[in-house]
Amino acid sequence: MSVLLWNIASFVLALGILITVHEFGHFWVARRNGVLVKRFSIGFGKALFRWRDRQGTEFVVAMIPLGGYVRMLDDRFDPVLPQFKDLAFNQKTVQQRMAIIAAGPMANFLFAIFALWLMYMIGVPEARPVIADVRAGSIAASADLPADHQITAVNGRSAADIRTLNLLLVEQLGRNRLTLELQDRVAGTVIERQLDTQGWQFDPDRETIFDSLGIDLVLPVPLTTLAYIEPDSPAAQAGLNVGDEITHVDGSLLQGWQQLTEWIQNNPDQPLDIRILRDGQTLSLTVIPAQRQTADGFSQGYLGIVPASSGWPEGIRYTSRYNPIAALQVGVQQTWQLTRLSFSMIGKFIFGDVSVRHLSGPISIAQGAGTTASIGLIAFLTFLALISVNLAVINLLPLPILDGGHLMYMVVELIRGKPVSEKAQEIGFRIGAMVLLLLMGIALLNDISRL
């Protein structure tokens, strides 16, 4: 329950920040263009707090924190005295109205730059993408990728760390070929390898992008010593403690965490006799892995345990920290990369390179918010930057119910010299609402299937 409450609180905080930023963009540019803003609301439904400023704008924090809006004076919907017509949104020029509408997504892009700028001034822990091994029969093995080489670029784009490399590789989904640049960690020589990715399949619910290519990176090695035990889990009920080292299962000596994981997953509801080392003493316990369904509908066992790790090998981990000017430059570059990736992923959904099964909704976002908030400020800022960019990109899609749809109508108005008819706009809004609701429904079903 505490994890659920933490996730909800983190989700509300993250969404509240991003919605406030988005709506403030509309609000600020509307004010600068002489439009009277009647209401600035964060959330929907019953108002929890409200106040007015000197210009008559009502500011509201409402009960349902799943959106927000800026209500501007508009003489198509509001009775407006002739002397106040110039304060109405619809009386402004097309260019002014376009600026007001575009300001929301632009504010989210600027916030992402700010969050990343702040991160890189504080210092971001990074890890170099060094190949430990490649798996037999994989795409990486076919390309003869050598071990102990650091991947430095993908199709000519630099990748100094694992996080950046991950984003660049995801962006390549659907392509038939990609080129990796690698540097020998000892000799320093640089080589290139081309990967044939015609049959490349990636399921983010089951594997990492590196797993899908058959690349094992140099990472901390999970041990059979327990670092965390989920409350009320089968492991807790069996009497396992943090710090216990599992050495044997059903009389067989364990070779590593992967073997233990396979043993647990393959034996749901079956008793397993385990031997542990606790405070220098050997103890025997019986655990019964509980059964749960995977996203594919298969049953597997789980205990609710998290392993300790061996730590990072020397020379892999480092901290990216910059002065304010350099951090701003990196923030802009990273925001552009996230923007490019977001538009690219939308294209991949449309053309079928990525399945709609991987769309995420509010439950996954809440879990992501809670997890990153619990890790620390840097992780949470990274999450905010990513969601802020996604929010901006989604709002720029040419669906009439979104900012991008309004901009589309205004571009048509700019070309034709007169507005799109209200009937045509109404039809567009209904279609846009249906498409958006369909996508939200798919994302929510995907979230539920992952629980």
Read off the pLDDT of each residue in 84-106 and give the average, rounded to a whole number. 92
pLDDT at 1: 45
- CA distance linking residue 374 with residue 380, whole number of Å: 8
Find the catalytic residue in 23, 58, 126, 245: 23
Confirm whether 245 is a catalytic residue.
no
pLDDT at 375: 63
CATH class of 125-219+312-320: mainly beta
pLDDT at 3: 64
Read off the pLDDT of each residue in 94-114 and give the average, rounded to a whole number. 95
pLDDT at 434: 80
Secondary element (H or E) of residue 407: helix 403-416
Between helix 403-416 and helix 422-450 the angle, nearest 10°, is 160
Interval 311-329: pLDDT, tens: 888 889 999 999 999 999 9
Report the predicted TM-score, pTM, of the whole model to 2 decimal places.
0.81
pLDDT at 247: 92
Q: What angle do CA 384, 388, 391 make, to 5 degrees?
A: 140
Interval 280-297: pLDDT, tens: 899 999 999 988 876 556
DSSP per-residue codes, 344-411 = HHHHHHHHTSS-GGG---HHHHHHHHHHHHHH-HHHHHHHHHHHHHHHHHHHTSS-TTSHHHHHHHHH
CB 113 within 8 A of CB 332: yes
β-strand pairing of 190-196 with 305-309 = unpaired
Do 125-219+312-320 and 222-309 share a fold? yes
Interval 42-78: pLDDT, tens: 988 888 899 999 888 999 998 888 788 999 998 888 7
Instruction: Answer whether residue 388 shows pLDDT above 80.
Output: yes
CATH for 222-309 is 2.30.42.10
Interval 420-441: pLDDT, tens: 888 887 888 788 778 777 766 6
Instruction: Answer whether residue 378 shows pLDDT above 50.
Output: yes
Task: Sketch the domain layout of the chain as residue ranges.
Answer: 95-123+324-451, 125-219+312-320, 222-309
